[in-house]
Amino acid sequence: MVDVILGLQWGDEGKGKIVDFFAKDYKVVARFQGGPNAGHTLYVNDKKLVLHQIPSGIFHLGIVNLIGNGVVLDPVTLKRECESVAAFGVDVKKNLFIADRTHLIVPTHRALDKAAELSKGNQKIGSTLKGIGPAYMDKTGRNGLRVGDLLDKNFTTQYIKLRLKHQRLLDSYGFQEDISAWEEEFFEALEFLRGLNIVNGEYFINEKIKAGQKILAEGAQGSMLDIDFGTFPFVTSSNTIAAGVCNGLGVAPNQIGEVIGVTKAYCTRVGSGPFPTELENETGEELRRVGNEFGATTGRPRRCGWIDLVALRYACMINGVTKLVMTKADVLDTFAELSVCTAYEVNGKETTEIPYQLERAQPVPVWKKFTGWNQTTSACKDFASLPVAMKTYVDFINKYLGVEVKYISNGPGRDQLVLVP
């Protein structure tokens, strides 16, 4: 069976730590979508490491890590990341595998991403400018290059053909930047990539399933950024929800087991797009400061607000979430009063559903207030030692969502995760 861990908000929920925690119970950890826009932060031997492409199970001996076909892969980012991981004594040639159907991000994808974003003016989506959107466009447009193509002697010819197509588009944008340094770096990284384990991903993972091995599928970004069900057009370019596991790894729907949803105890968003519970005041600034809310991939300050239960229940529904992990609960330790959004007011009417076009609807949050716990929780080791006010807060969320929080993260450390009985 394949269990899934994914984010339920707008990304940055702390999925990397949670995957790292659960990985010991699995034989395979697999990324199924997204690209180097993922920023999964781990603490290994008290050192911070951010993974953008490699699955978060990489530091567990004996665990196989697979980059699935639903991912778009930047060879340059992967090479740098492999070098960072190797510094911790990990041999990626032993436990990292890459599906041959995985599409490549080429330098002109990055250029197109930048050119397109600049052309939007004040309507920018907030792209990470990593070339991910254009790479997915080439995938659906049947133009892209895949990892398996690297093994073809005609790869360079295929690359030149694609580059010429891209150049015509860049010319239409008036894009004049020199990307020769990007290309030099790209071709160096390709040689490194050729030396890694390139496999037929769908057969690889289904053989593991057939052998009775437990698989953990690791999501990137968040459910509210899903290309179909997120806050379109302010979304990512892939299916971030549980259904994306089937397409992104080549596994059948009946192989999906647990769906573990990760949510912060509050809410954040990076970049543009609707964010109903955003706090553009001192409280929002305090959440950002205490939570150190700056993008792991971009470094951009995250927009902060109270937890949005309307959006969270929607995300639980479309993912079929079976259990929840609440992260960064300790960030709320110093707040005297907390609020949760239980409904939206749209055009004078109250609703608990996500509107078709969230930005156009301009929903006004309906709040329920809670007394804060005003107590440091980072040293708590079990549920009994957590403050009563925190338990009240979590219990309300459980009842509202109809799905229970089973773990509460009370700090960045690997061991700072409290089991909820």
DSSP result, 370-391: EE---S--TT--SGGGS-HHHH
Query: Which active-site residues does the annotation give?
Result: 12, 40
**Neighbouring-strand partners of residue 365:** 344
Of 237, 260, 283, the residue at which a domain comes to its end is 260
CA–centroid distance for 31 within its chain: 10
Of 260, 283, 302, the residue at which a domain comes to its end is 260
Do 305 and 282 meet the contact criterion of CB atoms below 8 Å apart? no
Q: pLDDT digit string (tens) for 83-129?
A: 999 988 899 999 999 999 999 999 999 999 999 888 776 666 566 78
pTM assigned to the model: 0.93
- Considering the domain architecture, whether residues 121 and 94 belong to the same structural domain is answered as no
Strands 47-51 and 40-44 come out as: antiparallel
- Considering the domain architecture, whether residues 176 and 288 belong to the same structural domain is answered as no
For residue 217, give every residue at least 6 positions away whose Cβ sits within 8 Å of its Cβ, in sequence order, or none: 2, 3, 4, 5, 30, 31, 32, 245, 248, 249
- Considering the domain architecture, whether residues 278 and 222 belong to the same structural domain is answered as no
What is the distance between the alpha carbons of residues 334 and 332, in angstroms, rounded to a whole number?
6
CATH number at residue 302: 3.90.170.10
Do 5 and 15 meet the contact criterion of CB atoms below 8 Å apart? yes
The tens-digit pLDDT sequence of the chain (421 residues) is 999 999 999 999 999 889 889 999 999 999 999 999 777 777 776 777 788 999 988 988 889 999 999 999 999 999 999 999 998 889 999 999 999 999 999 999 999 999 988 877 666 656 678 999 999 999 999 999 999 999 999 999 999 999 999 999 999 999 999 999 999 999 999 999 999 999 999 999 999 999 999 999 999 999 999 999 999 999 999 999 999 999 999 999 999 999 999 999 999 998 889 999 999 999 999 999 999 998 766 678 999 999 999 999 999 999 999 999 999 999 999 999 999 999 999 999 999 999 999 999 999 999 999 999 999 999 999 999 999 999 999 999 999 999 999 999 999 888 899 999 9
Backbone angles phi, psi at 168, to 5 degrees: -65, -40
Secondary structure (3-state) at 305: strand
- Considering the domain architecture, whether residues 206 and 93 belong to the same structural domain is answered as yes
- Considering the domain architecture, whether residues 145 and 253 belong to the same structural domain is answered as no
- Considering the domain architecture, whether residues 256 and 323 belong to the same structural domain is answered as no
Do 220 and 54 meet the contact criterion of CB atoms below 8 Å apart? no
How many domains does the chain divide into? 3
CATH number at residue 155: 1.10.300.10
- Considering the domain architecture, whether residues 246 and 175 belong to the same structural domain is answered as no
Of 238, 260, 282, the residue at which a domain comes to its end is 260
- Considering the domain architecture, whether residues 327 and 376 belong to the same structural domain is answered as yes
DSSP result, 221-270: S-GGG-TTTSSTTSS-SS--STTHHHHHHT--GGGEEEEEEEEESSEEE-
- Considering the domain architecture, whether residues 74 and 45 belong to the same structural domain is answered as yes
> Which domain, by its residues, includes 299?
264-419
- Considering the domain architecture, whether residues 309 and 409 belong to the same structural domain is answered as yes
- Considering the domain architecture, whether residues 244 and 335 belong to the same structural domain is answered as no
- Considering the domain architecture, whether residues 274 and 371 belong to the same structural domain is answered as yes
Q: Which of 185, 186, 103, 111 is nearest to 145 (CA)?
A: 103
Q: pLDDT digit string (tens) for 289-302?
A: 999 998 766 678 99
